[in-house]
Structure 1
Amino acid sequence: MTTPDLFLPLQLALHIILSCVLRVAVAQNPVNTYAPTVNVNCPETSSLVRIFTPQSQVLNASEADYIASRESYVISNAWSNWLGNASDIVSNLETLQGKFPRIGIVIGGEGYRTAQYGAGVLSGLDGRNDTAREKGTGGLLQVASYLSASSGGSWLLGSLLMNDWPSLQELVYGNGGDLSSWMLDLDLIVPSAPSVDDSNNQAYWGSVLESVESKANNGVPTSVTDLWGRMVSYHFLNETTRDNFYTNDTSHGAGQLWSQISLLPNFRSNTMPFPIVAADSRQAGSGITTSVPLNSTVYEITPFEFGSWDPDLAAMLSLQFAGTYLTNGLPANESACVTGFDQASFVMGTSSSFFNAVLNVTDGNFGFDANSEEENGMNFLFNQLSSHTPSSDVKDAANWPNPFKGINPVTFQDSSSDWLELLDGGSNLEKTPLSSLMVKARGLDVVVVIDGSADDSNYWPNGTSLLTTFERISSVLSSSHQPMPPIPGTAAQFVSTGVNMRPTFFGCNLTEGQPTYPMIIYLPNAPPLDGSAPATNTGDTQFSYTSMFTAVFINQAFWNTLGGFKPNTTSADPDWGKCLQCAAIDRAVTSRSDFCSQCFTQYCYDPTDPPSSSELPGRQFAFVNPDPGGLTKVEEWLERNKGALAGCIVAVVVAIAGIVGFIFWWRKRRARKSRYSRVHELREDDEPWRYYDSHSLELEMPRRMSIS
């Protein structure tokens, strides 16, 4: 055997070893933990679905236990910490032990805007914020039993949960340790540069696509919602920093499951309100590209269950087995279950999946209000997804295998479908998912509505979300949900009364003989009280904010939350914090204090004597960009790329030095060559000194004479 022949077996062995190593490396790529696990043994039970009626609805046992433990061991102390001696509010706080109102908070959604608005408001309600606590508003978050969100609000909620309930300051801006920041300056779709060909964009998209393909390779159909959720996770979940943003060094949130929230330390200690994410649906196969009807099923996702309280369905699935095909609550066989489908990023993506309204599934093009960079990026991503994954009939909605097939065939719109097509939680115009907290079994006394909707031409809310909930409860959910309190009858009335521009209490005075409704504390996004330029009314499709922009945005939302309003002035109300406490505790007291009565006169909506928008003078409504030149974005880019820039600067300096040195050398060489050439051309009888002036003669002649 010759020497080359000896190498062939070694080369073959090396090739096999390298192939195995590469296969293992690909299989262990962290971003691929996004793929669900299929063919899992199902639990031994008669049904994986619990079914009820509006009359027999009952909370999931784990949810009920959580609420009972939180209210018994956490909230009772939180009330005392928030109210202090409460001398102006209630005569004897100790008599209310065990009778405190049950409070829920709901955060509406529309992208980055509402994630930031919600963060600013929650920070103003958080007892961990010293300024908010001093103003009297900080503490409401600690006494809340529920926190519901949809769309951009779900991004905020998911970020809070998966980072184990940090303060809002740490969550948004980082803590210098295990929390980086939201990094909203990195565009959600094209984070590196406005070019599809940019290498960092390609690395980012490649990682996102690889996650989604891993799901498709396990036989689970995907859609643009999977891409969307994975991009959201880079900005809101943990494991992503500026240093690893464009790498696959971490999973970037892949593998983090909504059903594993119950394992988090702050959940186990009942520190956080019970979380709920809402999503709308369209009837499978309908292809609706506009707002869905009010009777379309609305779903919720908690750490324990997925399903709907709507009377047409009234059924829940254990969230751990979401992604499993079921018929009448049963799998096809004992090993047909799926786990790991409830990825946190997919839950957040599902609740914000607005692509039925912007994606043309025929040509694969998106419409993002003249944001060409984002359009090009999404077009590229969608085309890559379509060419690398099995075809699916539904690409513009979140695909959820239907676990409720065969249930309530007369009333449930998707009883005969294999798939559920889930959409953005505001697809039915209920942009704040209030109805999830109005479920009778949850028995809430007070609901705080954080409304960051963009309803009018200046992107401020006009009450459309509350009006939609009112109509939906009245026409579809009257048997399963609590009634709504009295509110203005139209969006025009919300505007004319001014309640869309300042804190308002709805339902202060229960009407005797009518069903009990919760009080609603309405906190709409509004211009700054002092008349300064507003920065919180941005568009739905603004996919990046500089650090300065985010700071100004959240600061405005925060101070509005602390300020309340004083009629006919541009000043904050120094009593607003205590007035908020009055509203929160009101359902538990038998008679209001004089102070609280005064607060209610100012903040309650009385349909028989409505307020007027004229009480809110001096407001600016037109958006003003607080960072118009994007200067902080340039600074951030310079900071991120300072290493590369330093290398470039050194290279440029070296290059310039080289060029200058070459020029000097070339000019010197040229001069020397010219002198020698002229000397060579002189004849013997020439008189070379004639070419010099008298001064040169003294210098040059002796030199020539010495040579000769």
Structure 2
Amino acid sequence: MHLLDSVSVLAFILSAVEANSGYAPEKVSCPSDASFVREANALSSQESEWLDKRHTQTQPALKEFLTRAGISDFDIEDFFDDASSNITIGLAFSGGGYRAMLNGAGQLSALDSNTRNANELGLGGICQSSTYLVGSSGGNWLTGSIALNDWIGIEDLVYHDEGDGVWDLNNSIFDEGGWNVIETISRFTSIAKELAAKKDAGFETSITDLWGRLLSYQFFGSDNDASTALTFSSIKETDAFQNALVPFPISVADGRVPGSEIINLNSTLFEFNPFELGSWDYSLKAFTDLKYVGTPVNNGRPTSDYCIKGYDNAGFVLGSSSSLFNELLLDLKDNSATAILYELIEDFLTFTDNENVDVAIWNNNPFYNTSYGDSETVLKSNSLYLVDGGEDGEVIPFAPLLQSERELDIIFGFDSTADSEYLLPNGDSLVATYERQFLNLTDSNAFPYVPDTNTFLEKGLTSRPTFFGCNGSNLTELSRIPPLIVYVPNIPYTYLSNTSTFKMQYSNSEKYAMVQNGFEISSRKNLTLDSDWQKCIGCAVIQRELERTGQSQPNECKECFDRYCWDGSLTTNS
């Protein structure tokens, strides 16, 4: 081993491993008449109240974007005066490790009017017009980094005056010190202290705790032990969120019992938002107050004279959504520089085998013995077991945005998956989401018709943005008219952005190039591939409201739809 022998390392760490209260959940007094679980038959009152404030922000921003888009024969003021409801836009970013995070950063920056040149050369203003922001796995590293760093801008995340920014990816997340072994040792020592504290507080610690803490150092910096006490529910305390100046962030994960396997699309889909954790699926059909997750409960009511606070650690939430990467941690056992560190931390981990390595343990189960769902494996277990949000095949996290209660008009789905032989998208995630709606797993979860993956590839639907569900009148056989989908796949325009999902190091030049290519994807190469791209996006955004109010589609929008809408045809070998 470099610089220090293993005996010295072990002695150094053992002397430092003491309870660290920052990461461990703590006991607090329960709210009066505490009852934390509700049926998932409507939005929470908190989300509904927040939406009212958000729409006062999004509608003026959308007017500004549509004005800049310049659709002919379209009166913006009349359109909004006659609107039957607010237009609701969602942004969904797929998993795919750092590839998805960096591509997504560039794609989102092209939608943000605060980004240089986004208004002139991209889709600046769409972000300000959006109501929801959803991420899964690597896409959730993007959305979580933004929301949990007090809504930091993309340019500050990435560039920070051309320095490393918040995202310093020069060294692997597993070997932050690089040649400096002592720095790596120090980091693992801090994490070992944190895991020990959580275990001493009476909670199981899985390998996802280790993964989540590593992510925290990557995304929240080293100050205050990488924001060791930062929680996902604390997002609702930020001024930007309270004033609804930003979209509503959602993180996704799948449910799974240890030892079992995800059975295609049947697993329970969970969402984390600043207010709640839960699922719309019939298997659970309930939400709980995220702030008090970890409290021993029966049917949502505390069974002790105390409640738990701080269990929803920010890194642990991001880790639960991306637990697929836990498997890489097992490789530490074979690395002479980190094996002794892993062996020490392993003392605090419940699962270290390959079969269950992706499981995140959430105990106590906040839904224990509730009466709304029909899955005993979820409702009768003492712990909640979550895994990576893309393990069921729905790597683009559309699901939270398809619920009828949220009334989405349009969803932008950013796809940085690597399902084709060239590590590029092939449409699999859309096919999975389309098929899940017919399994009768949840209420009114409609998704437009999409083709099979052969058609995606052979018709070039992954080599440019494509609209799905353009004409609502063609979707009446579905459970309801779904949102229009703007599908934006990863395309290597100015950089080979089809990097491996498990590439864990990016130099600054690689990082900048990935983000810049993402901007080119969203902007259609700075509008050079289509000077009407802003106009066509404006047409897609207003389409559902035009249909609701019976207004005719502007001629320019018809031309855009001819260009970007899937025409319903399939390849002959489909």
Question: Structure 1-normalised TM-score?
Answer: 0.72
Task: Decide whether the 8 Å contact of 2:255 with 2:269 is kept in 1.
Answer: yes
Equivalent position of 1:174 in the other structure:
160
Task: Decide whether the 8 Å contact of 1:224 with 1:382 is kept in 2.
Answer: no
1:266 to 221, 240, 243: 240
Equivalent position of 1:432 in the other structure:
396
Task: Decide whether the 8 Å contact of 2:455 with 2:571 is kept in 1.
Answer: no
Equivalent position of 1:557 in the other structure:
518
Task: Decide whether the 8 Å contact of 1:213 with 1:389 is kept in 2.
Answer: no
Task: Decide whether the 8 Å contact of 2:59 with 2:87 is kept in 1.
Answer: no
Secondary structure at the aligned position of 1:449 is classed as strand
1:119 to 83, 95, 105: 105
In 1: Cα distance, 2:444 partner to 2:338 partner:
39
Say if 2:47 is the partner of 1:63.
yes
Call closer, same or farther: CA 1:381–1:415 in 2, change over 3 Å: farther
2:26 to 20, 37, 51: 37
Matching of residues 471-486 of structure 1 within 5 Å: 471-477=435-441, 479-486=442-449
Deviations 1:15-61 (A, max 9, x none): xxxxxxxxxx998x9x64111103x3322336311124xxxx11011
Deviations 1:225-245 (A, max 9, x none): 1111111111212x43xxxxx
Equivalent position of 1:578 in the other structure:
535
2:487 to 511, 522, 525: 522
Say if 2:123 is the partner of 1:103.
no
Call closer, same or farther: CA 1:412–1:480 in 2, change over 3 Å: farther
Say if 2:145 is the partner of 1:159.
yes
Say if 2:349 is the partner of 1:385.
no
Q: What letter matches 1:346 in structure 2?
A: F
In 1: Cα distance, 2:104 partner to 2:562 partner:
27
1:141 to 123, 127, 137: 127
2:277 to 286, 306, 318: 306
Equivalent position of 1:465 in the other structure:
429
Secondary structure at the aligned position of 1:130 is classed as coil
Secondary structure at the aligned position of 2:281 is classed as coil
Call closer, same or farther: CA 1:85–1:456 in 2, change over 3 Å: closer
2:385 to 400, 407, 421: 421
Equivalent position of 2:227 in the other structure:
253
In 2: Cα distance, 1:167 partner to 1:272 partner:
11
Call closer, same or farther: CA 1:286–1:523 in 2, change over 3 Å: same
In 1: Cα distance, 2:348 partner to 2:116 partner:
51
Matching of residues 214-229 of structure 1 within 5 Å: 214-229=197-212
Secondary structure at the aligned position of 2:378 is classed as coil
The gaps in structure 2 that reach 5 residues or longer are 1-15
Q: What letter matches 2:428 in structure 1?
A: T
Call closer, same or farther: CA 1:176–1:102 in 2, change over 3 Å: same
**Count of residue pairs the alignment pairs up:** 544
Call closer, same or farther: CA 1:492–1:412 in 2, change over 3 Å: farther
Equivalent position of 2:322 in the other structure:
352
Say if 2:239 is the partner of 1:275.
no
Task: Decide whether the 8 Å contact of 2:265 with 2:392 is kept in 1.
Answer: yes
Say if 2:178 is the partner of 1:193.
yes
Q: What letter matches 1:262 in structure 2?
A: K
In 1: Cα distance, 2:114 partner to 2:90 partner:
19
Equivalent position of 2:169 in the other structure:
184
Equivalent position of 1:93 in the other structure:
76
Task: Decide whether the 8 Å contact of 1:209 with 1:385 is kept in 2.
Answer: yes
In 2: Cα distance, 1:287 partner to 1:432 partner:
23
In 2: Cα distance, 1:280 partner to 1:585 partner:
33
Instruction: For residue 250 of structure 1, report the CA deviation from its aligned partner.
Output: 2.5
1:498 to 451, 455, 460: 460
In 2: Cα distance, 1:410 partner to 1:390 partner:
28
Q: What letter matches 1:501 in structure 2?
A: S
Say if 2:269 is the partner of 1:286.
no
Call closer, same or farther: CA 1:112–1:307 in 2, change over 3 Å: same
Equivalent position of 1:699 in the other structure:
none
After the TM superposition, which of the residue ranges 161-170 and 316-325 deviates more from structure 2? 161-170
In 2: Cα distance, 1:182 partner to 1:49 partner:
36
Call closer, same or farther: CA 1:46–1:389 in 2, change over 3 Å: closer
Equivalent position of 2:12 in the other structure:
none
Secondary structure at the aligned position of 1:109 is classed as coil
Instruction: For residue 380 of structure 1, report the CA deviation from its aligned partner.
Output: 4.9
Instruction: For residue 486 of structure 1, report the CA deviation from its aligned partner.
Output: 1.3
Task: Decide whether the 8 Å contact of 1:366 with 1:379 is kept in 2.
Answer: no
Secondary structure at the aligned position of 2:386 is classed as strand
Q: What letter matches 1:274 in structure 2?
A: F
Call closer, same or farther: CA 1:46–1:192 in 2, change over 3 Å: closer
1:80 to 63, 80, 94: 63
Task: Decide whether the 8 Å contact of 1:86 with 1:93 is kept in 2.
Answer: no
Call closer, same or farther: CA 1:91–1:502 in 2, change over 3 Å: same
Deviations 1:392-451 (A, max 9, x none): 996641111211122347435322110111101101111111111101111111011011
Equivalent position of 1:204 in the other structure:
187
Q: What letter matches 1:519 in structure 2?
A: L
Instruction: For residue 565 of structure 1, report the CA deviation from its aligned partner.
Output: 11
Instruction: For residue 366 of structure 1, report the CA deviation from its aligned partner.
Output: 2.8
Task: Decide whether the 8 Å contact of 1:106 with 1:450 is kept in 2.
Answer: yes
Matching of residues 364-375 of structure 1 within 5 Å: 366=330
Task: Decide whether the 8 Å contact of 1:498 with 1:611 is kept in 2.
Answer: no
Secondary structure at the aligned position of 2:216 is classed as helix
Task: Decide whether the 8 Å contact of 1:129 with 1:138 is kept in 2.
Answer: yes
Matching of residues 623-634 of structure 1 within 5 Å: none
Call closer, same or farther: CA 1:217–1:46 in 2, change over 3 Å: closer
Instruction: For residue 519 of structure 1, report the CA deviation from its aligned partner.
Output: 0.2
In 2: Cα distance, 1:265 partner to 1:499 partner:
40
Task: Decide whether the 8 Å contact of 2:330 with 2:352 is kept in 1.
Answer: no
Instruction: For residue 65 of structure 1, report the CA deviation from its aligned partner.
Output: 0.9
1:49 to 5, 24, 37: 37
Deviations 1:172-230 (A, max 9, x none): 122589x94210112111122379xx222111211222222221121111111111111
Call closer, same or farther: CA 1:302–1:101 in 2, change over 3 Å: same
In 1: Cα distance, 2:445 partner to 2:374 partner:
24
Instruction: For residue 81 of structure 1, report the CA deviation from its aligned partner.
Output: 2.0
Instruction: For residue 329 of structure 1, report the CA deviation from its aligned partner.
Output: 1.6
In 2: Cα distance, 1:553 partner to 1:155 partner:
15
In 1: Cα distance, 2:33 partner to 2:562 partner:
55
Task: Decide whether the 8 Å contact of 1:149 with 1:433 is kept in 2.
Answer: yes
Secondary structure at the aligned position of 1:522 is classed as strand
Q: How large is the Cα RMSD of the aligned pairs?
A: 2.8
Call closer, same or farther: CA 1:404–1:594 in 2, change over 3 Å: same
Call closer, same or farther: CA 1:281–1:411 in 2, change over 3 Å: closer
Secondary structure at the aligned position of 1:521 is classed as strand
Matching of residues 225-240 of structure 1 within 5 Å: 225-237=208-220, 239-240=221-222
Call closer, same or farther: CA 1:539–1:215 in 2, change over 3 Å: same
Matching of residues 668-707 of structure 1 within 5 Å: none
In 2: Cα distance, 1:321 partner to 1:89 partner:
52
Say if 2:285 is the partner of 1:320.
no
Deviations 1:292-351 (A, max 9, x none): 43111111000000110111210010011111232222222232x211001111111111
After the TM superposition, which of the residue ranges 411-420 and 548-557 deviates more from structure 2? 411-420
2:309 to 316, 339, 354: 339
Call closer, same or farther: CA 1:319–1:423 in 2, change over 3 Å: same
Instruction: For residue 550 of structure 1, report the CA deviation from its aligned partner.
Output: 0.5
Equivalent position of 2:8 in the other structure:
none
Greater relative contact order structure (CA < 8 Å, 6+ sep)? 2
